[in-house]
Structure 1
């Protein structure tokens, strides 16, 4: 008796189901691997025509001023949220709707997910993948690992990636010894690393770095850095 041939909709369903299972398996294993192994390269680095100089440094070896500066600059609720800061997202949406200067609503976890596993640029498809990878890293990594990876893959200058490479570029020494101002100057570069320079800042960037030094003291005096 001849085997019964599945209908086209059934074959499509089985194919889609298997594809989803493979996607979940591969991405979970990928994220789990990077829980223990430094990402060798990212899409942003590979596509950077200026090169991708970096020098990985463990968070435990990095001056604590650097992660505190990152929290002060990029994600004040890093230790408190589950990957998404809904209040910041709401503020960013309201500013966009009103035509005001756009405030970034992405957390350090979201930026890490994008920088490590995805590509730069917008679009709902990439945003959806970013949310998915954010959930994965929050579930499979701990907060110190998220911060460690973030501070090693974030662009800190033209052709420069990571806080350690940034410290060497701007200050001539590694990130194991940074003053609060130096850490703040690197953090001030993060939103726009291709046009900002930590050692030759414009008036706005210089003032922003000085404001970050004050915020860093507030972070230290609160539970906002307890998770690192």
Structure 2
């Protein structure tokens, strides 16, 4: 009987291609799974401290730690760290309105980013004007509490992310309370209570309009601007802040924060 050659199997020829496609799908599935796990872990790791700090008062911040470590590394014997947390109810309402008037007049209404101020800053910078930022109070809290200095895209992205988390999780009143307690008012002077005690010999609860405006006047650059020896520019800025406070309606402005807080709760 003549030998019959078997026909080549179509399935056998196709098998390597199927295996290759299966391996590709398997790799893609693993990659997608690990990407999902990484994203989920990032969300949990970053959201958890923000969630906890809605109710737990931070005893320090990334900015404070960095400054203290730098002073210690340099052996700066003159550096003195001053910080004391105080609840919002123990802070003069004038201080709260002053920092809003100075730093973020749309604070009660935006969701963490003041689009109008960003647009104005970009237009001014493009015209060759003085380079200025447009950071809101929420952005400054995110930056001071959690991040390092710099202008990299990574840091900017993290600042935006933490700002979103803070706005989602904290009521406006809590954001302002934390800001007033972590803001720098001079070298080694952090928070409005330490500032009030250092410069005026009184508690933050007893700050007057003029004292609060003077403290707020140095916020853009507290290492160069002095509360204890204010320059002409600082004094003129203090007066501008007083005018803005009046334009906002004075301490009545805080009622808007109360209403936003009730809505958030």
Aligned counterpart, 2:13: none
1:206 aligns with 2:235: yes
Q: How does 1:11-160 map to 2 (within 5 A)?
A: 11-48=30-67, 49=71, 50=79, 52-160=81-189
With over 3 angstroms needed to count, the CA separation of the structure-2 counterparts of 1:51 and 1:15, relative to structure 1, is: farther
Q: How far apart are 1:45 and its partner, in Å?
A: 0.9
Q: Extract unaligned runs of 5+ from structure 2.
A: 1-21, 72-78, 259-265
Q: Is the 8 A contact 1:91 1:103 kept in 2?
A: no
Distance in structure 2 (CA, Å) of the matches to 1:51 and 1:221: 34
Distance in structure 2 (CA, Å) of the matches to 1:189 and 1:168: 16
Deviates more, 1:119-128 or 1:108-117: 119-128
Distance in structure 2 (CA, Å) of the matches to 1:57 and 1:10: 51
- State the secondary structure of the residue aligned to 2:155: helix
Encode CA deviations 1:172-220: one digit per residue, 9 max, x unaligned.
Answer: 1121101111001110111001111112111101111122112111112
Aligned counterpart, 1:169: 198
With over 3 angstroms needed to count, the CA separation of the structure-2 counterparts of 1:89 and 1:223, relative to structure 1, is: farther
Alpha-carbon RMSD across the aligned residues, in angstroms, is 1.9
Bigger CA radius of gyration: 2
Encode CA deviations 1:58-117: one digit per residue, 9 max, x unaligned.
Answer: 111100000100111000000111111100000111112222012321111111111112
Q: Is the 8 A contact 2:94 2:251 kept in 1?
A: no
| TM score, norm. by length of structure 2 | 0.79
Q: Extract unaligned runs of 5+ from structure 1.
A: none
Deviates more, 1:171-180 or 1:49-58: 49-58
Aligned counterpart, 1:193: 222
| TM score, norm. by length of structure 1 | 0.92
Distance in structure 2 (CA, Å) of the matches to 1:51 and 1:119: 21
With over 3 angstroms needed to count, the CA separation of the structure-2 counterparts of 1:220 and 1:135, relative to structure 1, is: same
Q: Which protein has the bigger helix share? A: 2
Deviates more, 1:14-23 or 1:65-74: 14-23
Distance in structure 1 (CA, Å) of the matches to 2:80 and 2:38: 35
Q: How far apart are 1:52 and its partner, in Å?
A: 3.9
Q: Is the 8 A contact 1:80 1:224 kept in 2?
A: no
Distance in structure 1 (CA, Å) of the matches to 2:94 and 2:211: 9
